[in-house]
Amino acid sequence: MVSFGHLIAVLAVAVSAASIAIAVYQYRRTVHRDIFRVYADKYDAILQPEIYPQWQKALAGDNTHWERLTPVMIAYLNLIWEECYLAGDRVIPKQLWELWRPEIQRVLRSDFAREVMNTCDFHFPDELTCGSAQPARELRGSQM
């Protein structure tokens, strides 16, 4: 027969385990939220509101602003590469990466981005430039 003391001990262990699981979950959510905020701030620093209309036109193929926006595109491409690397190492959560990836792919497939990538010799994993679902860490396999 189980004594009252054993029952209390089992309940205490269960409550402790649940508390630890909740704490880990909350910590991870906080870290993910902080990562999102950091990268949102980085994007805001690169794509200033006053240049956003020209940026959208440049991505749509209007090359009249390409020369002026090339430094912006280079900074954007560097940020994308940083995110791709961190997503491949699972520093950036998969859900967040999947949220960002369609916009990143849209930019990388623009004529403006392709021009800058060719001029500056940027190389991105195929998952971003041609739509493969293969994870970045597999594409960088031997470099890890």
Q: How far apart are CA 96 and CA 125, in angstroms?
A: 18
Please provide the average confidence, as pLDDT, over all residues in the chain. Answer: 85
How many other CB atoms sit within 10 Å of the CB of residue 108?
A: 18
pLDDT value for 138: 43
Place of tokens 């994993």: 125
Which pLDDT tens digit goes with each residue over 34-75?
999 999 999 999 999 999 999 999 999 999 999 999 999 999
Report residue 22's pLDDT band, with 50, 70 and 90 as the boundaries: very high
Distance (Å) of CA 85 to CA 72, 73, 91, 136: 20, 18, 9, 7
Query: 140: buried, middle or exposed (CB in 10 Å: 19+, 13-18, 0-12)?
Result: middle
Q: Taking residues 69-90, report their average pLDDT.
A: 91
pLDDT of residue 24: 93
* Predicted local confidence at residue 1, as pLDDT: 62
- pLDDT tens-digit profile of 90-137? 888 888 888 888 998 899 889 999 999 989 888 777 666 654 444 444
What is the residue extent of each domain of the chain? 36-143
Q: Is the pTM of this model over 0.85?
A: no
- HEC assignment per residue over the chain: CCCHHHHHHHHHHHHHHHHHHHHHHHHHHHHHHHHHHHHHHHHHHHCCCCCHHHHHHHHCCCHHHHHHHHHHHHHHHHHHHHHHHHHHCCCCCHHHHHHHHHHHHHHHCCHHHHHHHHHHCCCCCHHHHCCCCCCHHHHCHHHC
For residue 85, pLDDT over 90 is answered with: no
- The closest alpha carbon to 115, from 82, 75, 84, 70, belongs to 70
Residue 141: pLDDT above 70? no
- What does the pLDDT read at residue 129? 63
Residue 88 has a pLDDT of: 84
